[in-house]
Chains A and B, each alone.
Chain A
Amino acid sequence: MADDRLHLQQGPIDLILHVDSSEKIRKRLYSTAENRFLTVLEELVEEMDLLKLPWKAEQSEPKGSIAQKMFGAVSDSEVFVTPMAAVAGAVADEMLETLLFEAQNPDSCLEHISRMYVNNGGDISFWLNSGESFSLGVVDNPQIPALNTKVSLAYESPVRGVATSGWRGRSLSLGIADAVTVLAKSAASADVAATLIANQVNVDFPGIEKRPASEVKDESDLGIIPVTVAVPKLPKDKISLALEQGAKTARKLIKTEKITAAYLSLQKQILVIDN
């Protein structure tokens, strides 16, 4: 990986940004990103109570631009989900938007940039110039960080966001998937979709342990909903069954054009859903 990346961190937000351009442009964009980052967490905290509530049509819209992205990403959901499911992706989208805006104003220097990305702990928002592509490695199990799949996303593809969810990661999951990686138009939509698909990857089997979210992490937006804390080794047919549960949601999301593709993994079994 390049070492001219920018690392920004505050509290739980850990961003790596990269602008593939001349140093002059890169420096200018990074300094804008640094400025934008100053208030990101504060803005979220300000509306945190609202963002932790399950989405409902009659709810009032949040004010902050990141909060609005989160809200937009979960709207119309038929199942339980809070805007917090989109937080990591929305922050990545917002930061990429900041870079894009700076690159276009006052005079556009976009033609001198080949690629840009913002990686927020695995949830990635990126921009490509024509002819460029973005290569992505997928890791099935974060505890065994081996590159399991490589995806190349070209300029022509509508995908500009990638996100991963699973019970082993830092956020909590209702399901047992090791990882669900989703490709979508934005990182926020990918983030929500990955969460929802991973939540559905489930099967009944002794030894799968779930505990109320509030017992695992304080002040979780999931409240007392049980989240996965342990998964024993599963027989192959049970793994297939669990993955198929998630695949149903993935297919629905593809059909409604919310996402482009999903990559589900559980104990070395892989299921790829795309159209």
Chain B
Amino acid sequence: MANSSAKNMSAEKVNCDACPILCRISPGKTGSCDRYGNIDGKLKRMDPVILNQKAIDQHQTLVPFGEQTQQWDGSLLAQDVPLNPESIFPTAVGAGTTYPDYKPAPFIIASKHNEVDMVTVVTEGIFSYCSYKIKIDTDRYVGPEQSTVRCQGEQVGHVMTAEYGSQMLSLGGVHHLTGGSKQEGRVTCQMMMDLGNRKAVELEVDAGSKLTIQAGAAPIIDGNQEARMRVGCGSATIGIFAQQWYGHVDEVIVVDEHITGMLSEHQAGRFLGMEPSGIRVRGRRSTPGRYFQVANPGHGWGGTDVSDPLEIIDRVKEGVAYPGLRLLMVSTTGEDAAYFELDEKLKPVEQPLPQVLQKVVDRIGENCEPALCSVLFMAGAGGSLRAGVTENPVRLTRSVRSMLTRTTCGGAPAYVWPGGGITVMVDVTKMPENSFGSVPTPAIVAPIEFTMKLKDYEILGGHMAQVRRLEDLTQEREAIISNWNEDNPWPFS
């Protein structure tokens, strides 16, 4: 990468040190690679890099760039506001890579933050080992655990498990990128790029559902757009709303694919002094008022395959149940609800839902969070990527581990997994748009930045000779300033 200090003062040519050819480039021309050019006497990469600017705090005193302020406006920058170098975080989006890393990372940038010299090593990593962990907020059945998830017929992942109110998928990963057929690798790579770039992706689960998932959007399952994430399992729903039902109804059954709850038997109903209703539901009783497997998983009530809730009622016990008994059946999202009263033969007969109960049903809905797809990118920064940061790669791992080095992907905070290596996980919605690319290997290209104190960088064997000031970078390469995502913690703090 080029040093602005290497600018040739006697002629108008600039020296490029992006590669060993060391072109001396005349104004308006490009070097022998056509990737670097002399634009107005400055060496510029012909494709832009993205910088993120934090909104300037009203109370913060602006530190002008002095004479260099001029260089921060005009065509170079998109905004006319005076720029404070302390407000800029250089992301690796568009930074390029030095793969196979026989030289330092594309940018190693020093800046001062709160009087401390900080350095950010910016590179676009080429990740063969990478995948997505997907959380789909829905009770709808997507398919059995371990079931294959397909994209355009190719195997691109599998169903992992269910978490609270959500279905979990693992998508992409090295075994699909490079371990399968060419076509599998190609489809996986495209799917991964699209998911990371927040595009909608259509998937199909073997023996399960058709899914359309998109980071930050509601999932579409078998053609139905999900709206709500359940407030809790059936048992939890009973626990939350028992008091509000009490006195208005004699039995409430909350239909749920996982645990169906029954108010009168449930700890919460017993606590309120409710009498047994004599209604028995199907399935296996776990603890009083909590039933597993009342129906098969499906697209009906509460993630079951039930469309008529009475199907899950096994029997009504004579002598305990009585004519006129009031029964509410409701799903865990409040999307489905029905009210019954027992007739003379103890048969439930549907009646209009009383206003007072409707209110509680609505409240279940109100307490549901919107159904979302969360897309977490997970990747391992391997040996060669680390070599671009330091001559002693294991020290970077240790530094990341001891929290001296902050790891971000396109400025978004990355969770670093315990154990060996630098395996990170990051929410793609916190990254700049279109952060993901690919190479034909196939592998995914994603930005990664390591930020630390300059002195720590030196200790870990950093490429000190390559450290440049942020101001210099923008003089040699076109930069696009985009707004810092204010939801992300500031990496320099």
Binding site for B on A (CB under 8 A): 2-5, 7, 10-12, 34, 38, 41-42, 45, 48, 170, 217-219
Contact = CB atoms under 8 A, between A and B. Distances in A.
B353 interface: no
A3 B186 contact: yes
A7 B33 contact: no
- The size class of the interface chain B forms with chain A is 20 to 34
A219 B23 contact: yes
B83 to A, nearest CB: 32
B25 A218 contact: yes
Interface string B170-214: 000000000000100110000000000000000000000000000
A88 to B, nearest CB: 12
A218 B31 CA distance: 8
A7 B441 CA distance: 8
B19 A41 contact: yes
A167 to B, nearest CB: 16
Nearest to A10: B19
A170 B30 CA distance: 11
A10 B97 CA distance: 11
Contacts of B23: 218-219
A11 B33 contact: yes
B100 A34 contact: yes
B486 interface: no
Interface of B: 13, 18-26, 29, 31-34, 100, 102, 182, 185-186, 439-442
Contacts of A7: 439-440
Given A11-B21, A38-B102, A42-B20, A2 B32 contact: no
Given A11-B33, A38-B102, A218-B13, A45 B442 contact: no
Nearest to A37: B100
Contacts of B22: 45
B182 A12 contact: no
Closest 7 CB pairs of A and B: A11-B19, A12-B33, A45-B20, A12-B32, A42-B20, A3-B440, A11-B33
Nearest to B32: A12
B186 A11 contact: no
Nearest to B23: A218
B32 A217 contact: yes
A54 B81 CA distance: 55
A34 B384 CA distance: 13
Nearest to A1: B440
Contact of B182 (A3, A170, A219): A3
Contacts of B441: 3
A11 B32 contact: yes
B20 A11 contact: yes
Given A11-B19, A11-B21, A12-B31, 5 more contacts: A3-B185, A3-B440, A12-B21, A38-B102, A218-B26
Nearest to A23: B178
A142 to B, nearest CB: 13
B441 to A, nearest CB: 8
Interface centre among B20, B100, B185 (most CB of A within 10 A): B20
Interface centre among B21, B33, B182, B441 (most CB of A within 10 A): B21
B182 A4 contact: yes
A217 B33 contact: no
Contacts of B34: 12, 170
B29 A219 contact: no
Interface centre among A10, A11, A34, A219 (most CB of B within 10 A): A11
A212 to B, nearest CB: 13
Contacts of A12: 19, 21, 31-34
23 contacts: A2-B182, A3-B182, A3-B185, A3-B186, A3-B440, A3-B442, A5-B440, A11-B18, A11-B19, A11-B20, A11-B32, A12-B19, A12-B21, A12-B34, A34-B100, A38-B100, A41-B21, A42-B20, A45-B20, A45-B21, A218-B24, A218-B25, A218-B31
A27 B23 CA distance: 34
A34 B18 CA distance: 19
A24 B24 CA distance: 43
A41 B20 contact: yes
B20 A219 contact: no
Contacts of B185: 3
A238 B368 CA distance: 78
A34 B26 CA distance: 32
A218 to B, nearest CB: 5
Nearest to A30: B441
Nearest to B18: A11
Contacts of B26: 218
Nearest to B183: A3
Contact of A219 (B24, B439, B440): B24
A4 B183 CA distance: 11
Contacts of A4: 182
B398 to A, nearest CB: 27
A42 B18 CA distance: 12
B157 to A, nearest CB: 20
Nearest to B186: A3
A38 B20 CA distance: 11
Contacts of B440: 3, 5, 7
A12 B25 CA distance: 14
Nearest to B36: A11
Contacts of B100: 34, 38
B167 to A, nearest CB: 31
Contacts of A219: 23-24
B46 to A, nearest CB: 13
Nearest to B189: A3
A267 B18 CA distance: 37
